[in-house]
């Protein structure tokens, strides 16, 4: 069993998340949690087998609780993605996009081969605005995945994020990103109201409140994709995005859709390896990204990476919606969204999964992280690369007792799970 590191302060979302045992960063942690039902009411749940890892701790806790409530890996990953859009908008807000590797059983319980779901923050139809924004695709991608592979009502995976938007704890990783961009973010009044309500950037452990984003997530929870990408909310969003220099249109929102694709398949150590398609970096510095993943009791696994095409995207929020606008891929480089999973070629049983982040080192980080999991070695990850891992040497189903999960010790995320 891996050494458990204790946090100086556990990340707990006010009124929605209560952690009953120790927290850990960079190490696997078993928990008995107090959860909530699909309406947001607290409810006691029994811990089941499963793991969740995310670059922002509150998102990992959300995913673990979804598993405890009977959700599968697709439900847990979708919930983590929405939660991390609230708690780490610098790298994966609702204004951005991402990609996922998905390996889930069908309705009969038979495990299916992995597929990739690609939904990067899109290019608008025309170049316009003084700070061109990307077309937001995160909500469309996560809900498409959850609708096809999940077990729970779609509202259930949005509820935790909605409650976190009302009140969350500002994590160390978001504080790091805020310090990186510094006062430049405060040039946008809407961003300043959220991240520096008293004129100075919020520190770690401060209360982060995003009332406009709470209302936006309520629209998504109650009206789903149609309410978000069409109708009155969509018009409000594009008007506010245009006022912020984004240059988006209703046609942009309706034209873009997530795409299923075949992952890149290779082999290593007798295992099949599926990877997200990536491109060789053409510039020295690529945008920041963030990862999250989940493994469920049936061996279903989902591994996702998100980006805003720039740290904090355009640095501007569409006023009245709470959505931080991602940078347009027409004007900014797009990141390598790096993730990989290993599994037995015949049974398709889960063996290991990794996400890779760290700008141009992301793909290398995911590759080395997976190799470390398969060979039980600790080859160093070249900076600025970072990798999060779930590893089950005995494979799942069947070898649940062999599983561990790790968030990169150089990062500030959380790995949580067990039985």
- Report d(CA 180, CA 167) in Å as an integer: 23
- State both tokens at 124: 């608008």
For residue 261, being part of any structural domain is answered with yes
For residue 1, being part of any structural domain is answered with no
DSSP secondary structure of 26-79: SS-----EEEE-TTS-EEE----SEEEEESSHHHHHHHHHHHHTT--HHHHHHH
Better-predicted residue by pLDDT, 412 or 25: 412
Place of tokens 């990169």: 408
Q: Is residue 113 within 8 Å of 348, Cβ to Cβ?
A: yes
Instruction: Kindly report, residue by residue over 145-174, the tens digit of the pLDDT.
Output: 999 999 999 999 999 999 999 999 999 999
Residue 390: pLDDT band by 50, 70, 90 thresholds?
very high
Place of tokens 């979804």: 66
- Report d(CA 186, CA 82) in Å as an integer: 24
* Length of the chain, in residues: 419
Percent pLDDT > 70 in the chain is 88
- pLDDT for 25 equals 36
Domain encompassing residue 302: 18-418
For residue 8, being part of any structural domain is answered with no
- pLDDT for 280 equals 54
| Statement: residue 216 has pLDDT above 50 | yes
Which region among 24-38, 252-266, 333-347, 371-385 has the lowest average model confidence (pLDDT)? 24-38
Instruction: State how far Cα 317 lies from the chain centre.
Output: 20
Instruction: Kindly report, residue by residue over 71-111, the tens digit of the pLDDT.
Output: 999 999 999 999 999 999 999 999 999 999 999 999 999 99
pTM over 0.95: no
- Report d(CA 315, CA 334) in Å as an integer: 16
Instruction: Kindly report, residue by residue over 272-299, the tens digit of the pLDDT.
Output: 999 999 765 555 577 899 999 999 999 9
Q: What's the rounded mean pLDDT across residues 383-394?
A: 96
Q: Give the largest Cα separation in the chain, rounded.
A: 58
**Residue 187 DSSP label:** G
Cα–Cα nearest to 413, from 40, 33, 53:
53
- Report d(CA 256, CA 253) in Å as an integer: 6
For residue 11, being part of any structural domain is answered with no
For residue 112, being part of any structural domain is answered with yes
Q: Is residue 118 within 8 Å of 241, Cβ to Cβ?
A: no
- Report d(CA 154, CA 165) in Å as an integer: 18
| Statement: residue 266 has pLDDT above 60 | yes
- pLDDT for 397 equals 97
Q: Which helix (H) or strand (E) holds 350?
A: strand 350-357
Could you give the number of structural domains in the chain? 1
For residue 2, being part of any structural domain is answered with no
Instruction: Kindly report, residue by residue over 238-249, the tens digit of the pLDDT.
Output: 999 999 999 999
Quote the mean pLDDT of the chain.
89
For residue 91, being part of any structural domain is answered with yes
- pLDDT for 334 equals 87
Instruction: Kindly report, residue by residue over 140-149, the tens digit of the pLDDT.
Output: 999 999 999 9
For residue 3, being part of any structural domain is answered with no
């Amino acid at each position: 069993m891996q050494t458990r590191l204790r946090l100086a302060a556990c990340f707990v979302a006010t009124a929605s998340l209560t952690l009953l045992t120790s927290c850990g960063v960079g190490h696997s942690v078993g928990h008995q949690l107090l959860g909530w039902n699909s309406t947001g009411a607290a409810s006691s749940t029994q811990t089941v087998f499963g793991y969740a890892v995310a670059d922002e701790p509150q998102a990992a806790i959300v995913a673990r609780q979804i598993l405890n409530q009977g959700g599968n890996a697709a439900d847990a990953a979708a919930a983590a993605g929405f939660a991390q859009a609230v708690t780490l908008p610098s790298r994966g807000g609702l204004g951005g996009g991402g990609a996922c590797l998905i390996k889930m059983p069908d309705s009969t319980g038979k495990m299916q081969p992995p597929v990739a779901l690609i939904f990067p923050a899109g290019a608008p139809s025309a170049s316009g605005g003084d700070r061109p924004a990307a077309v937001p695709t995160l909500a469309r991608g996560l809900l498409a995945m959850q609708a096809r592979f999940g077990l729970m009502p779609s509202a259930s995976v949005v509820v935790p994020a909605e409650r976190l938007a009302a009140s969350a704890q500002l994590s160390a990783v978001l504080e790091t990103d805020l310090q990186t961009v510094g006062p430049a973010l405060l040039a946008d009044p809407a961003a300043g109201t959220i991240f520096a309500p008293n004129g100075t950037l919020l520190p770690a452990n401060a209360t982060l409140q995003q009332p406009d984003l709470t209302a936006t997530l309520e629209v998504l929870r109650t009206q789903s994709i149609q309410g978000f990408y069409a109708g009155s909310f969509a018009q409000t969003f594009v008007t506010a995005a245009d006022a912020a220099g984004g240059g988006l249109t209703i046609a942009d929102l309706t034209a873009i859709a997530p795409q299923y694709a075949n992952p890149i398949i290779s082999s290593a150590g007798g295992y099949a390896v599926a990877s997200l398609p990536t491109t060789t970096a053409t510039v020295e510095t690529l945008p920041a990204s963030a990862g999250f993943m989940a493994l469920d009791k049936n061996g279903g696994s989902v591994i996702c990476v998100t980006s805003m095409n720039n740290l904090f995207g355009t640095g501007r929020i569409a006023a009245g919606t709470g959505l931080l606008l991602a940078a347009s891929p027409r004007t900014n480089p797009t990141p390598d969204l790096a993730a990989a999973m290993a599994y037995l070629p015949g049974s398709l049983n889960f063996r290991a999964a990794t996400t890779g982040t760290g700008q141009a080192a992301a793909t290398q980080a995911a590759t080395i992280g997976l190799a470390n999991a398969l060979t039980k070695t600790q080859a160093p990850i070249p900076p600025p690369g970072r990798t999060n891992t779930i590893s089950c040497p005995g494979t799942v189903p069947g070898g649940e007792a062999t599983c561990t999960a790790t968030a990169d010790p150089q990062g500030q995320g959380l790995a949580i799970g067990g039985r």
